[in-house]
Structure 1
């Protein structure tokens, strides 16, 4: 199997995993929107933006999940995934370092994770997004080289 095929399959796998993560978390938040909003209101530093975040984050997660399946938009969706997960992770680290009370605003199975597990999960998915970005670029370079040779 060529490297082109391997990179393409891995980028597709990473896109699938990110899609599952984002759809699961978005649906979980939307299914329990009142609870999600209430928990956001109790979060340090972002409580005044709870209304915007409670609708904006699930919407953004679903948009990113959808864009991951269009090859034209996949790289930008991988960047968006990396940035969104980076923001979540940075926020968790800041709250853990500087706040006393930290309610979890996650839903479903993910809410059962401890904070260190949240950070580890986010970093794992950030690595997948970053590898997807790098390998998508590599795949496009391979395709461009092949087209210019023909």
Structure 2
């Protein structure tokens, strides 16, 4: 099997993993929307935007999850995945470094992770998204020649 075939299969796997992550976290937030919003209202720096964020984030996660499966939008969705996870990770790091309180707004199984594990999980999924972008672009360049 060529590298092109392996890379294509890995991009599909990464898209599946990102989809599972985003659908799981979005559904967890939407099922317990009141709790999620209440937790967001207690988060440092973003409390004034809690109402907007509590609705926007799960819907953005669901949109990205859907776009990962549309070939025309897959690279855009991989970029969006990378950026969204990067924003979450940066926020976690900033709160851990500069805030006196560190409430968790996570739901489900992910809430059982410690902060270090949460950052590692996010970075791992960011790597999946980045590799997906790189390998998709490589595949697109091969097809255009």
TM-score normalised to structure 1 length: 0.96
Deviations 1:49-103 (A, max 9, x none): 0000000000000000000000100000000000000000000000000111111
Residue segments in structure 2 that go unaligned for 5+ positions in a row: none
Query: Alpha-carbon deviation of 1:33?
Result: 0.3
Aligned mates of 1:122, 1:112 — CA distance in 2: 14
What 5-or-longer segments of structure 1 have no aligned partner? 146-150
- Aligned mates of 1:7, 1:102 — CA distance in 2: 39
Superposition RMSD on alpha carbons, in Å? Answer: 0.5
Q: Which has the larger radius of gyration?
A: 1
Name the structure 2 match of 1:133.
133
Q: Deviations over 1:101-124 (max 9, x none)?
A: 111001100001011011000000
Classify the secondary structure of the residue corresponding to 2:43. Answer: coil
Aligned to 1:13: 13
Shift of 1:143: 1.1
Task: Note the 1:108-127 alignment, pairs <5 A.
Answer: 108-127=108-127
Partner of 1:148: none
Normalized against structure 2, the TM-score is what? 0.99
